[in-house]
Amino acid sequence: MAAVNVLEAKGLTKIYGGVEANVDVDLHLDQGKITALIGPNGAGKSTFVGMISGRIAPTRGTVYFKGRDISQLPAHKRMQLGMAYTFQITSIFPGLSVYDNVALAAGLRLAHDKQAHDAKVHAVLDRIGLDDRADQTAGDLSYGHQRVLEIAMGLAQEPEVFILDEPTQGLSETEVDAFIALMKSIAGETTILLIEHNMRVVAALADHVTVLDQGRVLASGTFAEIHANDAVQAAYLGSTPHA
């Protein structure tokens, strides 16, 4: 099956007062595949996904969603088209119940149909293992649970493209395992862009890996290819990415 581009970035560039955060970054996401975006700290990964999701206005460059130029659309319109985004620093509605957090995420599509809405929320909570905590205030959850909740919110949006900014940061090993299993279960139906530091996760999940360094694409390929790439090794200051 020929790969279909769901999301494509062409020549995305962001310059902050003379500092080049991203220069001519090209990237495309194949339908139903998991693409990992890796690179050392300060490589410009968050700036890049910020430009894709519409949170950061690019200096120049274009973003296409299913062939349509969405560069001028504000963030919320891009999300409405079928994108979801989880923040690097956990971002939930701390004063609301777990149920309401997920209900808000599902509500954009389902708010008109009460029963389908409620069913969807419970289905997502069940899948992620938070159903027994539905009535708990989200801000009172443990850090790990809050992270999982944010991913659950992304799932509830039923996105075509799911962008996750360092989702496993601060999670325990068992929680990381659960995350890997979850991602594997949704890949295929959902196209995933993963920003990740944890090479175990990248190795386990990524169909395709793109390496950013100093705002530019350094390398691109399968995990094995990237792993063997000398330039990538050098970019990580000689320290081998712990596979």
> Would you tell me which residues interact with other proteins (CB under 8 A)?
16-17, 53, 55, 75-77, 79-80, 85, 87, 91-96, 99-100, 103-105, 107-108, 111, 118, 135, 153, 157
Nearer to other proteins, 23 or 104 (CB): 104
Torsion of the alpha carbons at 160, 138, 184 and 105, rounded to the nearest 10: -10
Least Å from the CB of residue 147 to other proteins: 14
Nearer to other proteins, 141 or 217 (CB): 141
Nearer to other proteins, 51 or 217 (CB): 51
Least Å from the CB of residue 17 to other proteins: 6
Least Å from the CB of residue 108 to other proteins: 5
Least Å from the CB of residue 75 to other proteins: 6
Least Å from the CB of residue 104 to other proteins: 5
Tokens read off for 33 = 């595949």
Nearer to other proteins, 105 or 209 (CB): 105
Nearer to other proteins, 135 or 173 (CB): 135
